[in-house]
Amino acid sequence: MVSAYCLIRVKRNKIEHVLNRIRHASLAKEVFPVYGEYDLWATVEAESLRDLDDFVYGFLRSIPDVETTTTMIHARLSKRKE
């Protein structure tokens, strides 16, 4: 399982339209508007990196009103002995 956060910048006045499209995507577990450099934040869960690639490149970036995306994959840190 691959978990990631996608930060999405959207064209002006198109946030609600893009938000609704992403909400219906099967890999998007939650999506909501945020303030700041990006307009939307989506939590994504995929079975593999290939599925995540398909979501980001094949779905998110194909939405005409999406300008840019930044994807952060959750790190799996193990405990280290000091």
In CATH, what number is assigned to the domain containing residue 61?
3.30.70.920
Domain-embedded: residue 79? no
* Percent of the chain residues past pLDDT 90, beyond the cut: 90
CA dihedral 66, 24, 41, 29 (to 10 degrees): -150
Query: Into how many domains does the chain fold?
Result: 1
Q: Which domain holds residue 55?
A: 2-73
Amino acid at 70: T
SS3 17: helix
Summarised one tens digit per residue, pLDDT across range 54-73 is: 999 999 999 999 999 999 99
- Alpha-carbon distance of 64 to 11, in angstroms, equals 9
Checking if the pLDDT of 14 tops 90, the result is yes
CB distance 47 to 2 below 8 Å: yes
Whole-prediction pTM = 0.87
Domain-embedded: residue 78? no
CB distance 19 to 8 below 8 Å: no
Domain-embedded: residue 81? no
